Amino acid sequence: MPTPPIGFPDPLPDDRCPCLSGSPFGECCGPFLAGAADAPTAVQLMRSRYTAYVVGDRSYLLATWHPSTRPARLELDPTMRWYRLDIVRRERGGPLDRDGMVEFRAFARHDGGRGEQHETSRFLREGGRWWYVDAAG
């Protein structure tokens, strides 16, 4: 995995995965961020993208963003501390589906305060690979 910018945590393979799946980073999101595997479901891509925000991995975020909606650049705030991800619901998004939706809540600390991002994300599977498309509606 590329070295994250100063200010972002750098989990070790045996550390608890930041996505809070209950699995070690090296068995959960680590292989996806390292490019050793592609997420097999929309939920796993959502979890790995959340982890990429936690560790400041812009390259992974851009590489998993569908080319039709991907921004030209992405800036991450190293003072934003993401600490919890809750998957609220999902529709489709399995290994054989062509599309999927994942509703989530992500919680962060920033500038002494707390914040929450609530989003329903859309995903497409093309060429056997899942892509983040955008936030629905």
Residue 42, domain CATH: 3.10.450.50
pLDDT value, residue 4: 44
pLDDT value, residue 58: 96
Neighbours of 108 (CB within 10 A): 18
Task: Note the pTM of the prediction, 2 decimals.
Answer: 0.92
Structural domain containing residue 101? 25-135
Dist. CA 137–CA 128, nearest whole Å: 26
Could you tell me what percent of the chain has a pLDDT over 70?
94
Task: Flag whether 9 is in a domain.
Answer: no
Structural contact between residues 60 and 74, judged by C-beta atoms closer than 8 angstroms: no
Three-state DSSP class for residue 71? coil
- Reply yes or no on whether the pLDDT at 1 is more than 90: no
Task: Flag whether 12 is in a domain.
Answer: no
Number of domains into which the chain is organized:
1
